[in-house]
Amino acid sequence: MVPKREKILVVRHRYLGDTVLAIPALRNLRHAFPHARIEVLVEPISGEVLRNCPYIDELIFARMHKPKKPNPAVPVGLWQISRMLRARRYDRAYVLRRAFSAALLPWLAGIPHRVGFSFGGAWLLHSRSTPFHKHHEAECFMDVIRADDIQISDTRNENWTTPREEELVASLLPPTGRRRAYLFAKSTVDWKDWSAGNFAEVCTHLIRNHGLEIHACDAPSNAPYYAGIAASLPADCQPFFQDWSTRLSLVESGALIRSCSLALGVDTGLMHIAASFGVPVVALFGNPDPARWHPWGVQHRILRPADCSGERPLLAIQPAQFIAAVDDLLSAQAR
């Protein structure tokens, strides 16, 4: 008799950065269950970062909250999602989120073996659980896998592109012969922003003093912000600044990021995507603790103001400080 192929659900919906940081946990889960079918519950857009991940068999898109423009093909809310999951008949679930609703989903779906964090009352819903330790978020996700007596043998970061994406980006990039830097300058919340003028000063330094060209690729709605940076550049630097936010998808942008020698910006999910492609990072941090959220597995420099209170704490950091951190990282790369 052919043994049953085990079916595993991983719950990792919501934020882009957290979804990227789940990759090491997914790799070790696949090593533990090489013949299982592994499906990952993700949110639209942020879940696309796992589109090329070889450790999973399917992405399942769902939303816990109703969006402005609902998609009938995407279940919304606890009850719709749990009914959909129940119909898929999983054997195991690993919950890589610290939210009671995330722990409740596999319980409502009738999944017999459930593993997750033990915060609050969530441990009552799990077959096995792990305390939340205040170390890096990628390690926290691997703690969930460890809680099921699975050995973690490989903690490195990684990401993937397809030949189609590589060919598309190669056809668009200008043949300047310069090394590239990837810019992720806009956050989803204003208090995590720096300023377009400050970033223009840093970009000018990279273009003139390091011979780099600057490439941005963000949400299409952020294109006006990058246009402001471009407009603040001196005339001789503007030809070496390009924003692809309205031309490349999130998945396609991976091929652009992979081609870069440096990534710089603010603490966002795009920072974690850059790190997953092995690109060294210089990033500005406010209230989020860099010990928990720093770029995983790559050389990096973090700038953080001494006082993170107020509406725009990052404005306390001067362009000269950012330039010094960039110079230091580039010098370390050259050694």
List the structure tokens of 258. Answer: 């992979």
* pLDDT tens for each residue of 234-257: 999 999 999 999 999 999 999 999
Q: What is the pLDDT of residue 68?
A: 75
- Quick one: average pLDDT of 264-268? 95
The gap from C-alpha 34 to its chain's centroid, in whole angstroms, comes to 25
> Hey, is 308 helix, strand or coil?
coil
Write down the architecture of domain 7-146 according to CATH. Answer: 3-Layer(aba) Sandwich (3.40)
Instruction: Find how far residue 175's CA is from the centre of its chain.
Output: 29
Mean pLDDT of 46-58: 96
H-run or E-run covering 39: strand 37-42
Q: Where are the alpha helices (DSSP H) in the chain?
A: 16-21, 23-32, 78-88, 100-108, 137-146, 163-172, 196-210, 223-232, 250-258, 269-276, 290-293, 319-334
Supply the pLDDT for residue 3: 60
pTM of this prediction? 0.95
pLDDT of 1 higher than 70: no
The per-residue pLDDT for range 169-228, each reduced to its tens digit, is: 999 998 889 999 999 999 988 888 999 999 999 999 999 999 999 999 999 999 999 999
What is the per-residue pLDDT across 59-100, written as a single tens digit (0 to 9) for each?
Answer: 999 998 887 777 778 888 899 999 999 999 999 999 999 989
Does domain 164-334 bear CATH number 3.40.50.2000?
yes
The segment(s) of the chain belonging to CATH 3.40.50.2000 are 7-146, 164-334
Q: Which residues contact 193 (CB under 8 A, 6 or more apart)?
A: 186, 187, 266, 312, 314
Res 2 pLDDT > 60: no
Q: How far apart are CA 244 and CA 148, in angstroms?
A: 42
pLDDT digit string, tens, across residues 59-70? 999 998 887 777
The residue with greater pLDDT, 29 or 122, is 29
What's residue 288's pLDDT?
86
Q: Are strands 113-117 and 241-243 parallel, antiparallel or unpaired?
A: unpaired
Average pLDDT, the chain: 94
Burial class of residue 194 (count of CB atoms within 10 Å of its CB; 0-12, 13-18, 19+) = buried
Instruction: Check the CA dihedral 218-12-132-36 and report its sign.
Output: negative
- 94 and 40 Cβ atoms separated by less than 8 Å: no
